[in-house]
A and B are shown apart, each in its own frame.
Chain A
Amino acid sequence: MIEIKNLKKKFFCNGSNKSLFSGFDLVIRKSEKIGLFAPNGSGKSTLLNILAGVDKDFAGTVSIEGKRISYMHQDTNATLAPWFTCEKNILLVRKYHHLGIEKGKALLKRFVNEIEINFSLDQYPFMLSGGQRQIVALLRALIFEPDVLLLDEPFSALDIEKRAAFIEFLTKHFTNNLTVIMCSHRGDEVKSLLDRAVILEHQSETRITMDICRSKFHSKQEFEQIISKIRFKKNGHEI
C-alpha cells in the first residue's frame, strides 16, 4: 500500500514561495494500477519524485510498502548515464538490488524479443532518439522486477506503433503483485493498463477532482470508455 498523508510542498517561483500541495492525501492499495491525469504544472511529476525519493523536500507522511521501487523519470536525457551503454544502464539497477546480472541479461533478451526493438542496446544513450531513450528507460524500470512501478508519461516520445507494442508488453508484465502509478495526459492511451484513474487539478493548490475506480463499474469496457474520455490540454482539461 502507498499512503500519502497531509502532503505539503512548496516551490520557489518568481521570487516567492508558491504552494503546490497543501494537505494532499492519497491512498493506493497494493497491486492497484492507477493513472494520474492532470494538466501540466499540477504536480504529477513532483508527486512521483516524492514517492520515488528523488525529491525529499516536503512535509507530511509518505509511506510505501515494497522493497523495490522503480521509477521511470520523464527526463530520460538526465536520468540515463551517457557514459554507459544502454545495456549497462538497464542492468546496473539489478546490481543495486543484489540481483543476478546473468538472469538480468536473459530477462532483457526476452524483453527485447517481445517488443522487437530495432536498435542496438550496445549504443550509448546520446546516440539514440528521444523515443529510443524512452524505451531504454522503460526497460530499466522493469528489469529489476519491482514491487512498485512509477511511470511518468512513459509513452510521450513513442510513435503510435511502438506505443501500442509497449502497452501490450506492459499489460503482460503488469503482474498481480505490482503496484503501478502512471502519469499521463490522455486516458485513451493507457486505459487498458489501469484499474483506477485519479484526476488532479491545480488552482491555489493541487487537489483531487475525480477518483474513478474500475470496481465501481459493471464491466471493464464501461470503465475504459470513461477513462478514454480523459484528455488534457496544456491549460485545462475536458472530461
Chain B
Amino acid sequence: MKYKTSLIGIFSAVTIWQIIAWLKIFNPIYFASPYEVIAESIKMIQGGAVFIDLTLTIYRIAVSVIISSLIGIPLGIAFGYFARIYKYVGEIVDFLRSIPPIVIYPLLLIVLGPGDSSRIGVALFGSIVVLVLIISNGLFQQAPLRRQYFASLGANKVQLVNHIVWYEALPHVMVALRTAVSLSIIIIVVTEMLVGAQYGLGTRVQNVQITSNIPDLFVTIIIIGLIGVLFNKTLICLDKKLVFWKSN
C-alpha cells in the first residue's frame, strides 16, 4: 500500500513536470522534459562515463561516513555518558558546529592538496561534529534511572556502556547517521564542483556549464538525489532492525 501511494506520487510529479515542459512555462533551453531526461539517461548509460563519476562520488561519501562514524559515534557516546567531559568540550563542539564545513576546504587544500583527502576531510569535519552533538544530546535527555539501577545491581562502567548506554544511544546514533550522510553528500558534491576533481557527480554538474547539456544536468541532479534516498532508506531499514524496541 505504501509503495503504491509512493508510486502514484512519483507518477503525478513526473506528469506535472511533463505538462510544464509541454506548456513551455520555462524556457526549454534551461528546462529539460522527462522525455529528454530519459533519452539522455539511456545515452549516459550507453556511454558509461557516468558510472565512473557515480562510483567515485559514492566511494567518497562512503569513506566519509565510515570514518566519521568510527570517530563521531564513540566520542558522542563518551560525551553523553560522561557529562563532566562535555562541560569542558561542549562550547568547543558548539563553536565547531557554527562553522560552515565548506569554509575549511581552502585550508585543507593547502595542507592535503587537491585530492580526495581534502574533500573527505571537509566531509569528516562536518559529519563528526553532527554525530557528536546529536548522540551526546540524545544521551543527556535519557532518564538516568536505568543506568543507576543497573549500576546498583553490580554492573561496572564497561558493562554499563555495553549493556545500557550503547543501546540507549543507538536510536540517536541512527538519527545522527542520517544527518551525517546528508551532510556528506552535500559536502562531497560541492567540493567536487570546486576544484581538483577529474571525476565525480559534482564535477559532472560543473562541466555542464561548459557543454550546456541541460538534460545531462537534470539526470545528474536526479542521480545525486537518488544517492541520498538510497543511503537514507538503507539507514531506515537498519534502524528498524537494530532499534526494534523503539517502535514497540
Q: Which residues does A use to contact B, with CB under 8 Å?
A: 52-55, 68-71, 73, 75, 78-79, 81-84, 92-93, 95-97, 124, 126-127, 144
Contacts and interface: CB of A to CB of B under 8 A. Distances in A.
Contacts of B154: 68, 93, 96-97, 144
A81 B153 contact: no
Interface in B114-145: 143, 145
A70 B244 CA distance: 29
B153 A71 contact: yes
Given A79-B146, A124-B245, A92 B151 contact: no
27 contacts: A52-B152, A53-B148, A53-B152, A54-B148, A54-B151, A54-B152, A55-B148, A71-B149, A71-B152, A71-B153, A78-B145, A78-B146, A78-B149, A81-B163, A81-B164, A82-B248, A83-B167, A83-B245, A92-B163, A96-B153, A96-B155, A96-B159, A97-B154, A124-B244, A124-B245, A124-B248, A126-B245
B153 to A, nearest CB: 5
Nearest to A126: B248
Interface of B: 143, 145-146, 148-156, 159, 163-164, 167, 244-245, 248
B149 A127 contact: no
Given A73-B149, A81-B163, 14 more contacts: A52-B149, A52-B152, A53-B148, A54-B149, A55-B148, A69-B152, A70-B153, A71-B152, A78-B143, A78-B146, A79-B146, A81-B146, A96-B155, A126-B248
With a 10 A CB-CB cut-off, give which of B143, B148, B155, B244 has the most chain A CB atoms. B148
Contacts of B153: 70-71, 93, 96
Contacts of B155: 96
Nearest to A124: B245
Given A96-B156, A97-B154, A126-B248, A79 B167 contact: no
Nearest to A140: B153
A82 B163 CA distance: 11
B245 A53 contact: no
Contacts of A124: 244-245, 248
A81 B167 contact: yes
Contacts of A81: 146, 150, 163-164, 167
Contacts of A52: 149, 152
A-B pairs, 10 with minimum CB distance: A96-B154, A82-B245, A126-B248, A53-B152, A52-B152, A83-B167, A79-B149, A54-B148, A54-B152, A93-B153
